[in-house]
């Protein structure tokens, strides 16, 4: 047994989803970084603005540096209203003017840079630290006054999170749309496989015609391969039928000769014992030629089924003729054969030869094996079907073998009287005409074989 | 009632508190069996705090509450020192000098607290979930109704300056205000005055200085003197305290200046080293809860957050008319607390206000 593989649909879904997921993750990381960057940029401006304002408020009065910390700088920083603010202002000599003494710039910035911003830690929290230097060239005071302003990063994180979420929302929606349309597209794309499957599944197991389903280019090789296989199989079957027909045909000639030879052995020429044997031989030869005839007609039916165009057939006429053909003129016993047909034409579309063959086989069967005294053939209409039933007062076929004998090429029994193939032929013809062969026991105890064909022209 | 209130006025040596700060400690013993203690360090008059404390004990009957009273600057100094040294000093700080609370919170001395009502607090009355504003108190001028004729009642800041100039002799030594060198709230109010209108503030300062203004540590001391007639006008008084006097029948008049009226929101915070964080958070939550607010408005602070003035106060709705200038709990208050700036401001103030004797 081949290992069970996941369905194409599942494979495609998994693959595309994983690609989308990886892409989504990548985009998320990208969005987060760019959001962090954007948030930093926005709040860094505020931080620098505040630092510049503070630096601007440094004045040298009578040779002494002084600062009146501008409230507006803090209002600016207060725009991120949940963050702590630390600041440290140093005069050009490096002495603290005001603020948090312990707030220091972590590295020595290049003197050329007036404004620098770095990430740092202060007061147990992550902060963004801005350093702005202001050059004084007063005669009494020369050098850089330095303003350090630090702010915790809460507002930046919040902004970055919001930005990320906002940019991820369309990514998420896009992902859902992508997966949805992918499911739709895959289902559409795989639909021909389903159609092909249905077409193959609904075929009659014996239908050896080629598959005629439109299939996309990718599936053409499969369809071609299946059809190729069917062709080969059909060739084999044809060959086999041909062989059977040939064999049966070949058998008939020696059998006829044998029959003639047996007939030549007239009664007088053999002893009493010998005559008994001779009679048995005669019976056996008759059975053999009947079997050969049936094989031949079976092969013919199979051939006609595929090769002969159908036509409208009037069942009443056909049945009457079949009766005439099937009931031998001379019988060892008296059998009453009746035929009763309903009014009006009952027409079916089919092959008249095969249909006649089926009816003949059934009647022949009844004559040969069943009816001690009477055979009643009825043709009537039931719903949209034409029914031919053949009742006889013989022992019939045991009910447990009904299914077996009417199966098409089923294990037809070759009992002593060689009956099975006749029923098989009838069943095969019925099936080929979308009809069926069934058996039943009538209310008066008679055994009934029933052929049923859909009527032409009615649905 | 089996409650008894233990009152002790102490100058020094009270438990954990540092010597040198003037404090009063009051105990509100738990109405039921005591299960925990809460220590409130407050720069708020006890009469205003008492109804809130007692109402809170209805909700939490197992809590004994100790209220230690300070002047704003002393509370700040003690709290800052305790914070720097990592010591525990009380479980809740209440102060009208909110700039000091913001400074403490900025320096990492406040603990983030959470509560159902705190979550709904106005953003402007909540900084970092650490400092909460729980009152709405206009800053007013008061006058002695018996001694100041109605024609002379100043309606604006500039009118006050002009009155003092016009009637210099009559008002000399008869106007009182905060000594902002020892009162944090006085400093905060003066700072905001200076920011409102530079010219008016300058003229007012000059007039007050010329009128030999009397400076005191606290609103209550000035109110005492105005109602006794020793002073005629009190400037930059807390409206809630003044109204409480009027309600008691003291001969005081209250003016909400018509040019602008500063509005203060008293602040509460839980220090990092509090030993009763859960209970402290519950008390702060109670302060901003509808129940705490209605008790406060009925018995302690009188003015509602919608700007509604209590009965008997004219001046109308300062919020609706747009003259209210709320002092918002925001990092901008850090500039007020900058030591260089404060020093300069105090120097300027002292130069103008305090005449060398």
Dump pLDDT digits (tens) for A226-242: 889 888 988 888 888 78
A256 versus B22: the higher-pLDDT residue is A256
pLDDT at A407: 60
Pair B231, B224: CB distance under 8 Å: no
Angle, alpha carbons A419-A423-A429 (nearest 5°): 150
Percent of chain B with pLDDT over 90: 61
- Residue A115 — φ and ψ, nearest 5°? -135, 130
Contact yes or no for A69 and B341 at CB 8 A = yes
Distance CA B103, CA B97 (A): 10
Pair B207, B160: CB distance under 8 Å: yes
B72 versus A411: the higher-pLDDT residue is B72
DSSP annotation of A122: E
Q: Which of B130, B198, B325, B331 would best serve as a mutation to test chain A binding (most A beta carbons within 10 A)?
A: B331
Residue with tokens 């404090």: B23
Residue with tokens 């000059």: B206
Q: Which residues neighbour A200 within 8 Å (Cβ) at sequence distance 6 or greater?
A: A211, A226
Chain B residues near residue A47 by CB distance under 8 angstroms: none
Taking the CA of residue B197 and the nearest CA in chain A, the distance in Å comes to: 15
C-alpha B230: how far from chain center: 23
Contact yes or no for B332 and A74 at CB 8 A = yes
Q: Which residues neighbour A164 within 8 Å (Cβ) at sequence distance 6 or greater?
A: A28, A31, A32, A35
pLDDT at B4: 40
Chain B nearest-CA residue for A89: B340
Confidence band for A412, pLDDT divided at 50, 70 and 90: very low
pLDDT at B9: 38
Complete DSSP assignment for B147-161 = TS-GGG---SHHHHH
Pair A456, A348: CB distance under 8 Å: yes
Distance CA B334, CA B102 (A): 7
Chain B nearest-CA residue for A66: B340
Distance CA B110, CA B226 (A): 38
Contact yes or no for A71 and B106 at CB 8 A = no
What Cα–Cα distance (Å) separates residue B143 from each residue in A131, A436, B174, B192, B236? 50, 120, 10, 22, 12
pLDDT at A332: 66
Pair B142, B237: CB distance under 8 Å: yes
Residue A259: pLDDT over 50: yes
Q: What is the pTM of this model?
A: 0.69
Closest in A74, A75, A123 to B108, CB measured: A123
Q: Quote the crossing angle between the two packed helices B46-59 and B239-247, to the nearest 10°.
A: 90
Q: What residues of B are in the A interface, CB distance below 8 Å?
A: 105-108, 123, 127-128, 195, 330-336, 338-341, 344
Residue with tokens 């009226």: B261
Closest in A71, A86, A98 to B332, CB measured: A71
Q: Which of A453, A419, A457 is nearest to A436 (CA)?
A: A453
Pair B114, B281: CB distance under 8 Å: yes
Task: Give the least confident one: A216-225, A389-398, B271-280.
Answer: A389-398
Tens-place pLDDT, residues A87-134: 999 988 888 999 998 998 887 767 667 788 999 999 888 999 999 999
Q: Which residues neighbour B192 within 8 Å (Cβ) at sequence distance 6 or greater?
A: B262, B325, B327
Confidence band for B22, pLDDT divided at 50, 70 and 90: low
Contact yes or no for A82 and B128 at CB 8 A = yes
Residue A389: pLDDT over 90: no
Distance CA B13, CA B276 (A): 23
Chain A nearest-CA residue for B342: A68
> A69: which strand partners?
none
What Cα–Cα distance (Å) separates residue A321 from each residue in A151, A424, A425, B194? 112, 21, 18, 130
Tens-place pLDDT, residues A187-227: 888 888 888 888 888 876 667 778 877 878 888 888 888 88
Tens-place pLDDT, residues B55-107: 999 999 999 999 999 889 999 999 999 999 999 999 999 999 999 999 999 99
Q: Is A233 exposed, middle or buried (0-12, 13-18, 19+ CB in 10 A)?
A: exposed
Pair A136, A145: CB distance under 8 Å: yes
Q: 3-state secondary structure string, A330-391?
A: CCCCCCEEEEEECCCCCEEEECHHHHHHHHHHHHHHHHHHHCCCEEEEEEEEECCEEEEEEE
B16 versus A172: the higher-pLDDT residue is A172
Q: What value of ipTM does the predicted structure carry?
A: 0.85
Strands B137-144 and B252-255 come out as antiparallel
Residue B172: pLDDT over 70: yes
């Amino acid at each position: 047994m081949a290992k069970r593989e996941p369905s194409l649909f599942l494979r495609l879904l998994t693959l595309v989803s994983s690609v989308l997921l990886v892409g989504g993750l990548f985009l998320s990381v990208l969005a987060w970084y760019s959001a962090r960057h954007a948030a930093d940029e926005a709040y860094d401006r505020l931080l620098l603005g505040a630092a510049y304002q503070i630096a601007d408020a440094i004045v040298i009065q009578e040779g002494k540096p002084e600062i009146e910390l501008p409230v507006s700088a803090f209002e600016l920083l207060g725009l991120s209203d949940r963050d702590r603010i630390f600041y440290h202002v140093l005069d050009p000599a490096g002495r603290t003017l005001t603020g948090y003494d312990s707030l220091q710039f972590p590295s020595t910035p290049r003197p050329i840079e007036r404004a620098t911003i770095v990430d740092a830690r202060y007061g147990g929290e992550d902060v963004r630290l801005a350093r702005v230097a202001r050059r004084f060239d007063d005669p009494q005071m020369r050098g850089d006054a330095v303003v350090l302003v630090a702010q915790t990063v809460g507002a930046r994180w919040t902004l970055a999170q919001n930005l990320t979420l906002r940019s991820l929302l369309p990514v998420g929606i896009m992902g859902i749309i992508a997966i949805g349309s992918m499911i739709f597209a895959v289902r559409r794309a795989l639909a021909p496989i389903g159609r092909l499957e249905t077409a193959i599944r609904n075929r009659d197991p014996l239908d050896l015609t080629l598959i005629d389903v439109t299939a996309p280019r990718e599936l053409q090789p499969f369809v071609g391969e299946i059809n190729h296989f069917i062709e080969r199989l059909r060739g084999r079957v044809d060959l086999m039928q041909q062989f059977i027909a040939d064999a049966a045909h070949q058998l008939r000639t020696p059998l006829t000769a044998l029959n003639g030879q047996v007939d030549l052995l007239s009664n007088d020429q053999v002893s009493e014992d010998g005559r008994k044997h001779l009679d048995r031989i005669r019976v056996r030869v008759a059975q053999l030629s009947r079997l050969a005839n049936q094989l031949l007609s079976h092969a013919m039916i199979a051939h006609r089924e595929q090769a002969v165009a159908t036509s409208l057939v009037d069942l009443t006429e056909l049945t009457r003729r079949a009766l005439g053909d099937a009931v031998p003129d001379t019988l060892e016993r008296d059998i009453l054969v009746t035929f009763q047909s309903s009014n009006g034409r009952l027409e079916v579309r089919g092959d008249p030869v095969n249909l006649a063959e089926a009816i003949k086989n059934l009647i022949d069967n009844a004559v040969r094996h069943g009816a001690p005294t009477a055979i009643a053939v009825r043709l009537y209409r039931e719903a949209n079907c034409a029914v031919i039933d053949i009742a006889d007062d013989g022992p019939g076929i045991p009910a447990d073998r009904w299914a077996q004998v009417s199966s098409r090429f089923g294990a037809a029994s070759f009992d002593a009287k060689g009956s099975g193939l006749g029923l098989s032929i009838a069943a095969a013809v019925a099936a080929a005409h979308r009809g069926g062969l069934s058996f039943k026991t009538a209310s008066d105890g008679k055994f009934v074989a029933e052929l049923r064909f859909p009527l032409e022209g009615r649905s | 009632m089996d409650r008894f209130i233990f009152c002790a006025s102490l100058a020094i040596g009270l438990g954990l508190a540092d010597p040198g700060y003037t404090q009063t400690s009051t105990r509100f013993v738990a109405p039921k069996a005591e299960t925990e203690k809460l220590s409130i360090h407050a720069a708020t008059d006890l009469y205003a705090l008492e109804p809130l404390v007692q109402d809170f004990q209805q909700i939490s009957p197992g809590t004994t509450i100790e209220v230690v009273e300070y002047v704003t600057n002393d509370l700040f100094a003690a709290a800052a020192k305790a914070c720097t040294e990592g010591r525990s000093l009380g479980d809740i700080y209440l102060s009208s000098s909110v700039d000091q609370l913001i400074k403490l919170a900025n320096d990492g001395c406040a603990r983030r607290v959470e509560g159902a009502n705190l979550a709904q607090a106005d953003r402007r009355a909540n900084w970092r979930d650490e400092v909460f504003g729980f009152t709405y108190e206009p800053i007013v001028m008061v006058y002695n109704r018996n001694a100041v004729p109605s024609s002379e009642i100043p309606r604006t800041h500039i009118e006050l300056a002009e009155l003092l100039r016009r009637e210099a002799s009559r008002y000399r030594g008869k106007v009182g205000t905060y000594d902002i060198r020892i009162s944090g709230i006085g400093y905060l109010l003066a700072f905001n005055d200076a920011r409102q209108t530079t010219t008016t503030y300058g003229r007012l300062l000059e007039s007050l200085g010329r009128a030999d203004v009397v400076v005191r540590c606290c609103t209550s001391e000035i109110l005492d003197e105005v109602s006794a007639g020793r002073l005629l006008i009190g400037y930059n008084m807390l409206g809630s305290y003044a109204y409480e006097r009027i309600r008691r029948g003291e001969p005081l008049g209250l003016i909400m200046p018509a040019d602008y009226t500063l509005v203060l929101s008293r602040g509460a915070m839980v220090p990092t080293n509090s030993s009763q964080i859960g209970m402290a958070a519950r008390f702060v939550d109670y302060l901003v809860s509808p129940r705490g607010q209605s008790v406060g408005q009925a018995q302690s602070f009188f003015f509602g957050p919608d700007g509604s003035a209590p009965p008997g106060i004219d001046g109308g709705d300062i919020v609706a008319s747009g003259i209210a200038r709320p002092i918002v709990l925001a990092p901008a208050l850090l500039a007020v607390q900058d030591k260089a700036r404060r020093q300069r401001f105090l120097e300027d103030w002292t130069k103008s206000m305090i005449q060398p004797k």
